[in-house]
Amino acid sequence: MNVTSKIYSLIVFVFLASCKSKEIAPPKPLLPVPSSAQMAWHEMEMNAFVHFTTNTFTDKEWGFGDEKPSIFNPTQLNINQWISTLKEAGFKGAILTTKHHDGFCLWPSRYTDHSVKNSPLQNGKADIVKEFSDACKKQGMKFGIYLSPWDRNRSDYGSDSYVEYYRNQLKELFNAYGPVFEMWFDGANGGDGYYGGANEKRKINGASYYDWPTTLNIVREIEPNIIFFSDAGPGVRWVGNENGRAGETNWNTITPDTLFAGQSDINGLLNTGSENGTHWIPAETDVSIRPGWFYHAKEDSLVKAPEQLVEIYLTSVGRGSTLLLNVPPDKRGLFHEQDVKALRGFRTLLDHEFKTNFALNSRVEASSYRGNSKKYSPENLTDGNKETYWTTDDSVTTASLVMHLEKPQSVKYILLKEHIQLGQRIKSFHIEIEKEGVWKKVAEATTIGYKRILKIEPVLTNKIRISITSAKACPIISCVEIY
């Protein structure tokens, strides 16, 4: 190599090195951020709850605990029908009440006789939990477990031996029927019950009696990626109501301690989360397709209509929460015709409302983007790829994005997704549409999170402007969709 070519190689080397150093680093995560198991849970979006026990046969919501196992006798049990109905409606996982407050077990637990093994169903050989988890596996749905901590049947409820019983059942269930994606710990406790014939009121200290840290670790040892639901998490939190409404402001973050610190409006706090919460504990929206959680023939005419279910979708999934919709089997052991019809109608309506994303591959203008790097350019919002995102320089916390649709469309929904893997950031934003050269504000909202859907009066337009008016740190958005 002569001197000239050496100098030339050096210049090329320096040039390439300087190009590389110009590669703009992504924003640093704004803590807390979701774990990979929580991220997978967010992506499920819609799960189902299935409430089934002796209550189905006694027409109650809370069994007292003195029900005879012999009354549990569905005549046409078909668990595949439940799971295929849910799957066709778009649910990704299903959580079964393996034991509700009445203490009756849907599997032949070796720790009690108060179970399906003493029911006439399949001559005492039935195992609803197994059939349910098998059907989920077969149909590609995830399986979840509800096991009520409160047990109105057990004579030892309130003493240490019951906690051991409860833990043994958790081990039994998780070892025999997994994998399990979510474990649902119900905080309800009404005090009175049968308790092996004592027929009395028992009071426990919900915070200390079950020794939750130890109990959760027993489950974690078997299922390390489990998502724990309880009012306060640690995996996901209760949304604070049972009517399908996540907060219009919905932070995935909350400080769990504040829930036990004499807070006056705990349900309100659970509903909105808190902007500066120390933990990532997103809200799960549990609601029933009927007024009750269990099947009652008198509620056949009160099954929610497809339009109501779409409204619930918008106030749960559309507010960055995950929907947990309960569908209770009837006395035959089938989802009732009314519920099946409502779920099919729900799917059809949802597909109709969200049929064509007018924004897919459309041009987007941003007030700025991070380091003018293509990696963070506004095209990432409409490329149909949820892994790519638009973001700004660290110092920028407000921005505007103008969406140019190919031709005027009747716009009814604007859907946005934050790239929450790097933390939830956006605090407020609004939407304008352009009509005859004039911008008109059509919606205003606070948080986005995993997903936010804003419904507006349908309007014909080909230009939509999204203005982010405040954020905790530089905004990061992965998708904008327009329907």
Which C-beta is closer to ligand FUL: that of 127 or that of 286?
286
Residue 330 in the binding site for ligand FUL (CB under 6 A): no
Residue 286 in the binding site for ligand FUL (CB under 6 A): yes
Distance CA 432, CA 427 (A): 17
Which C-beta is closer to ligand FUL: that of 104 or that of 293?
293
Binding residues among 60-79 for ligand FUL as defined by CB under 6 A = 61
Query: Nearest-CA neighbor of 280 among 31, 477, 40, 28?
Result: 31
Residue 186 in the binding site for ligand FUL (CB under 6 A): yes
Q: What is the C-alpha radius of gyration for the chain, rounded to an integer number of angstroms? A: 26
Instruction: Select the residue whose beta carbon is closest to ligand FUL and give its number.
Output: 188
In the complex, the smallest distance separating the C-beta of residue 293 from ligand FUL, rounded to whole angstroms, is: 4
Query: Nearest-CA neighbor of 54 among 290, 324, 329, 303?
Result: 329
DSSP 8-state symbol, 171: H
Structure tokens at 213: 């840290």
Which C-beta is closer to ligand FUL: that of 96 or that of 170?
96
What lies within 8 Å, CB to CB, of 437 at 6+ separation is none
In the complex, the smallest distance separating the C-beta of residue 204 from ligand FUL, rounded to whole angstroms, is: 15
Structure tokens at 374: 């293509």
Write the secondary structure of 200-223 as one string of H (helix), E (strand) and C (coil): EECCCCCCCCCCHHHHHHHHHHHC
Which C-beta is closer to ligand FUL: that of 25 or that of 188?
188
Which C-beta is closer to ligand FUL: that of 251 or that of 293?
293
Distance CA 56, CA 71 (A): 10
In the complex, the smallest distance separating the C-beta of residue 231 from ligand FUL, rounded to whole angstroms, is: 9
Beta-strand pair 399-418/363-366: antiparallel
Residue 223 in the binding site for ligand FUL (CB under 6 A): no
Which C-beta is closer to ligand FUL: that of 185 or that of 483?
185
Residue 10 in the binding site for ligand FUL (CB under 6 A): no
In the complex, the smallest distance separating the C-beta of residue 188 from ligand FUL, rounded to whole angstroms, is: 3
Which C-beta is closer to ligand FUL: that of 185 or that of 335?
185
In the complex, the smallest distance separating the C-beta of residue 99 from ligand FUL, rounded to whole angstroms, is: 11
Which string of DSSP letters, residue by residue, matches 342-378?
HHHHHHHHHHHHTS--TTTT-EEEES--GGG-GGG-G
Which C-beta is closer to ligand FUL: that of 182 or that of 186?
186
Positive or negative, the CA dihedral 270, 185, 421, 477 is negative
Distance CA 71, CA 250 (A): 43
Residue 52 in the binding site for ligand FUL (CB under 6 A): no
In the complex, the smallest distance separating the C-beta of residue 244 from ligand FUL, rounded to whole angstroms, is: 13
In the complex, the smallest distance separating the C-beta of residue 158 from ligand FUL, rounded to whole angstroms, is: 18
Binding residues with ligand FUL: total (CB under 6 A): 5
Q: Which of 251, 293, 389, 429 binds ligand FUL (CB under 6 A)?
A: 293
Which C-beta is closer to ligand FUL: that of 31 or that of 188?
188
User: 139: part of which helix (H) or strand (E)?
Assistant: helix 128-139
Query: Nearest-CA neighbor of 364 among 449, 279, 440, 462?
Result: 462
In the complex, the smallest distance separating the C-beta of residue 268 from ligand FUL, rounded to whole angstroms, is: 18
Which C-beta is closer to ligand FUL: that of 99 or that of 427?
99
Number of C-beta neighbours around residue 257 at 10 A: 11
Residue 31 in the binding site for ligand FUL (CB under 6 A): no
Is the separation of the CB atoms in 204 and 166 below 8 Å?
no
Q: Which of 188, 198, 302, 305 binds ligand FUL (CB under 6 A)?
A: 188
Interface residues toward ligand FUL, by CB under 6 A: 61, 186, 188, 286, 293
